[in-house]
Amino acid sequence: MLVFFNLWVWSHILGGRSGDLYLDFLSVGQGDSEIISLPSGPIIVVDGGPDGKVVPEVERSLKKGKYIDIMILTHPHADHYVGLAELVRRYDIGVLLLPEAKSSSPAFLDFLEYAEKTDLMVVHIGEGDRITSGEMKMDFLSPSVDDGISDMNARSIVFMFEHRGVRALFTGDIGEKQEKRMIGLYDMDADILKVPHHGSSGSSSSAFLAEVGPAVSVVEVGDGNRYGFPTVAALDRLKAAGSAIYRTDTDGTLRIVPGDKGLKILKMK
């Protein structure tokens, strides 16, 4: 069954805030965390990094706001959900979206149990689902509910965000196999790419990047991480695709503000 959300049904948004759309890619160490802030009001947080480093980053981004409309966990690995657990304790959350992916991690199960105790609405979401709010839409491209894949990276939530003609692709930790499947099914063209799997060698394939054609690519990665991310191979493919490359380990938290003259990149550190 397809799931459709329209954010305008939530009364606290009515009237909204004014300002620009911005997309923040947070420096949280070896992990992912992003914020999408819409001019009309809704706040979307995607992943939370591996620990509490996300808290001051979110506080800076949201300033005095204490409501997150949508929280998305792309997949239940610790470098994506641990920080979300910290945010659930500090913020009011409209809904938590996560994929159909099983994890026996005690820490993850504790996170879900705590979320349920706070009466947070938890919804599984995946391919074919859509969220809309005014001029914004988010189309979910993966995971498929019936693909038979158990690997949690491969079952990451992938979605295309679009607002007034600007498109940003959020990819979790997918690899080349999932990239190949999607480029055969969808229009993958995007201005902004959240680089898959922290720039691993098994992601950001040349065929995928040729379809996406990102003007700006952001690698979310921890300084001196033990995995050697981002790999030279992935960076070389991004360069060959003609994309400007930014990294949270060297550039810190990044804010991308779309405007009439293109994408404004702000380094927030």
CA–CA dist 269, 252 (Å, integer)? 5
More confident residue, 12 or 21: 21
Instruction: Give the per-residue pLDDT at 148.
Output: 63
In the chain the first and final C-alpha atoms are separated, in Å, by 43
Residue 255 to residues 24, 46, 106: CA-CA distances in angstroms?
4, 14, 34
pLDDT at 16 over 50: no
Judge whether 174 lies within some domain: yes
Instruction: Give the per-residue pLDDT at 7.
Output: 47
Average pLDDT over residues 205-230: 97
Report the helix count and the strand count for the chain, using DSSP H and E: 7, 16
Instruction: Give the per-residue pLDDT at 116.
Output: 83
Average pLDDT over residues 23-31: 98
CA–CA dist 124, 139 (Å, integer)? 14
Each residue's pLDDT tens digit, 77-97: 999 999 999 999 999 999 999
| Contact assessment for residue 122 and residue 116, using Cβ atoms and an 8 Å cutoff | yes
| Contact assessment for residue 219 and residue 225, using Cβ atoms and an 8 Å cutoff | no
Judge whether 200 lies within some domain: yes
> Which phi-psi region, left, alpha or beta, contains residue 91 (left: φ > 0; alpha: ψ -120 to 50)?
beta
> Which phi-psi region, left, alpha or beta, contains residue 13 (left: φ > 0; alpha: ψ -120 to 50)?
alpha
Angle at 124 between CA 120 and CA 129, to 5 degrees: 120
Judge whether 249 lies within some domain: yes
Judge whether 5 lies within some domain: no
Average pLDDT over residues 121-131: 95
Judge whether 140 lies within some domain: yes
CA–CA dist 9, 78 (Å, integer)? 32
Each residue's pLDDT tens digit, 150-161: 789 999 999 999
What is the count of structural domains for the chain?
1
Each residue's pLDDT tens digit, 65-81: 889 999 999 999 999 99
Domain carrying residue 114: 17-267
Lowest-confidence pick of 1-5, 46-50, 80-84, 85-89 = 1-5
Judge whether 7 lies within some domain: no
Each residue's pLDDT tens digit, 132-188: 988 999 999 999 876 667 789 999 999 999 999 999 999 999 999 999 999 999 999
Judge whether 95 lies within some domain: yes
Structure tokens at 41: 């009001």
Angle at 231 between CA 250 and CA 210, to 5 degrees: 100
Angle at 54 between CA 212 and CA 176, to 5 degrees: 30
Q: Which CATH number fits the domain that encloses residue 30? A: 3.60.15.10
**Overall pTM surpassing 0.75 (yes/no):** yes
Lowest-confidence pick of 109-113, 186-190, 216-220 = 109-113
